[in-house]
Amino acid sequence: MPRIMNLETISRIGEEVVISGWVNTRRDMGKITFFDMRDRSGLLQVVIVPSELDDASRELVSGIRSEYCLRITGLVQARGAKQVNPNLPTGTVELLAKKVEILNPSKTPPFELEDTANINEELRMKYRYLDLRSPRMQKNLILRDKVISFFRDYLHAAGFTEVETPYITKGTPEGAREFLIPSRQQPGKFYALPQSPQQFKQLLMVGGIEKYFQVARCFRDEDQRGDRQPEFTQLDLEMSFVEREDVLKLVEDMMIKMVKEVTPEKRIQQIPFPRISYKEAMDKYGSDKPDLREDKTDPNLLAFAWIVDFPFFERTDDGGWTFSHNPFSKPNDEHMEWLMEKSNIPEIMTQQYDLVLNGYEAGGGSIRNHQPEALKKVFEIMGLSAEDIQSQFGHMLEAFTYGAPPHGGIAPGIDRLVMLLAGEPNIREVIAFPKTGDARDLMMDAPAELPKKNLDEVHIEIKK
């Protein structure tokens, strides 16, 4: 007989069925034992009456504990009115067991899975595969999947093509430190893991893709915080022949519809999303990602806003200039002349925009500087020599000489969005296998030392 899900039993009263899953709890009530069986659809009460079982099963049941993996054949029965459990989707029925098979026994789990709120997080991360069985993690990962599939459907319907870009590549100078990969075949040379697909998505625009998106993993070797992980996921997108308004409109509409469909219990505080200049945000709220919620105790309130008009450049510690967001952004049209003349540098504003949500930066993007001469000026203002510009950005500058279309895009951070929708305090709770604050994976025990042979192959010697 094929296995059915626990939830399906509610429409199978009077039938014999097979279920499979884990023992959530075992309750012994004298002659009768109850197993609350768990599968991905939820819980189902199974009644064990020894006289109803076959001989082999009767032998087994006394040894069965929480988290054993079982297959149970039994009869679906309606519960009496007094026995109905209104808190359980399967609360109107129960399964009277006829045959119990142990698919795999389980050691006693190192923590209680039902409510992990007060369990030491390091323990949860070490046994993440058990933590994933908890209602909290199941709920969060299912929500994450719903958010991502909504975005995918929305963008496909809007004519976007999902394109994968390399994870083993050359560094992208966007501010964060990169993870490096030594090359075996090219001694002394290194790849970098991309901190975002920024350059590739722009090159896809040169390549005529016009509307690109990707659920893209990004890698940044930064100090961790609750809203930062060394690898995280962006909904990266880019469009050709667009202006700022087009990108903001698309993303705003997509977010509004996503909230409505995936988390209808949430309320968006203000539509259209308010737009605040960087200067106003800093003057009024002292932050470029202000928490604009009118009522911060309301877990269902989402205060989206756009922050716009960022200064293009900021001073470096040694008195030079660096870009404030990313070097590929375009200045505001009225400031293009200043860029070309390299004058009024602190006054140059960029066509960058950030999406903020409840005090978090939930996304960032810009209209890009698609004219090679203008892009070159940015690098000159940053003090790069002609050789450095050539070696670091030559491929972009050259690509732009082949009729690069005007383009722009954005990258909402999926982890942060899902964290806020799930009401979780940090993004680790919405990532299946996250890393600790000091960037370790406690389950896999990474990073790890390597045998000398492996290091020799990639021409690496460890400094003592």
Closer residue to ligand AMO in complex, CB, 292/411: 411
Single residue of 21, 173, 194, 365 touching ligand AMO by CB under 6 A? 365
Q: For residue 199, which phi and psi values (nearest 5 degrees)? A: -70, -40
Closer residue to ligand AMO in complex, CB, 98/228: 228
Closer residue to ligand AMO in complex, CB, 42/331: 331
Single residue of 137, 364, 399, 422 touching ligand AMO by CB under 6 A? 364
Would you count residue 74 as binding ligand AMO (CB under 6 A)? no
Q: Which stretch binds ligand AMO (CB under 6 A): 43-51, 273-281, 361-369, 448-456?
A: 361-369
**Count of CA atoms in the C-beta half-sphere (13 A) of 399:** 19
Beta-carbon neighbour count of residue 384 at 10 Å?
18
Would you count residue 411 as binding ligand AMO (CB under 6 A)? yes
Closer residue to ligand AMO in complex, CB, 248/410: 410
CA–CA dist 371, 404 (Å, integer): 8
Closest CA to 236 of 161, 305, 310, 181: 161
Contact present, 195 and 218 (Cβ < 8 Å): yes
* Residue 270 CB contacts under 8 Å (≥ 6 apart), including other chains: 292, 303, 304, 305
Would you count residue 351 as binding ligand AMO (CB under 6 A)? no
Closer residue to ligand AMO in complex, CB, 154/200: 200
Would you count residue 258 as binding ligand AMO (CB under 6 A)? no
Q: Which stretch binds ligand AMO (CB under 6 A): 122-130, 248-256, 313-321, 410-418?
A: 410-418
Minimum Å distance from CB 354 to ligand AMO?
Answer: 7
Q: How far is CA 215 from CA 196, 197, 206, 207, 368, in A?
A: 11, 10, 20, 19, 21
Closer residue to ligand AMO in complex, CB, 4/247: 247
Q: Which stretch binds ligand AMO (CB under 6 A): 156-164, 229-237, 290-298, 448-456?
A: 229-237
Closer residue to ligand AMO in complex, CB, 221/380: 221
Count residues near ligand AMO (CB under 6 A): 22
Angle between helix 386-400 and 198-206 (nearest 10): 40
Q: Which stretch binds ligand AMO (CB under 6 A): 38-46, 311-319, 407-415, 454-462?
A: 407-415
Q: For residue 456, which phi and psi values (nearest 5 degrees)? A: -60, -40
Q: Site mask, ligand AMO, residues 175-214, x = CB under 6 A?
A: ---------------------x-x----------------
Closer residue to ligand AMO in complex, CB, 281/362: 362
Closer residue to ligand AMO in complex, CB, 94/415: 415
* CB contact burial 315-333 (16+ within 10 A = b; e otherwise): eeeeeebebbbbbbbbbbe
Single residue of 24, 140, 165, 366 touching ligand AMO by CB under 6 A? 366
Q: What do you get for the CA distance between the two ends of the chain, in Å? A: 62
Closer residue to ligand AMO in complex, CB, 156/225: 225
Single residue of 194, 331, 363, 434 touching ligand AMO by CB under 6 A? 363
Q: Which stretch binds ligand AMO (CB under 6 A): 55-63, 113-121, 412-420, 434-442?
A: 412-420
Minimum Å distance from CB 28 to ligand AMO?
Answer: 46
Q: Which stretch binds ligand AMO (CB under 6 A): 94-102, 148-156, 362-370, 379-387?
A: 362-370
What residue is closest to ligand AMO based on CB? 413
Minimum Å distance from CB 417 to ligand AMO?
Answer: 8
Single residue of 126, 133, 144, 220 touching ligand AMO by CB under 6 A? 220
Minimum Å distance from CB 387 to ligand AMO?
Answer: 25
Closer residue to ligand AMO in complex, CB, 6/202: 202
Q: Which stretch binds ligand AMO (CB under 6 A): 92-100, 180-188, 364-372, 446-454?
A: 364-372
Would you count residue 98 as binding ligand AMO (CB under 6 A)? no
> Which residues are at the interface with ligand AMO (CB under 6 A)?
196, 198, 220, 222, 228-229, 232, 234, 326, 361-366, 409-411, 413, 415-416, 427
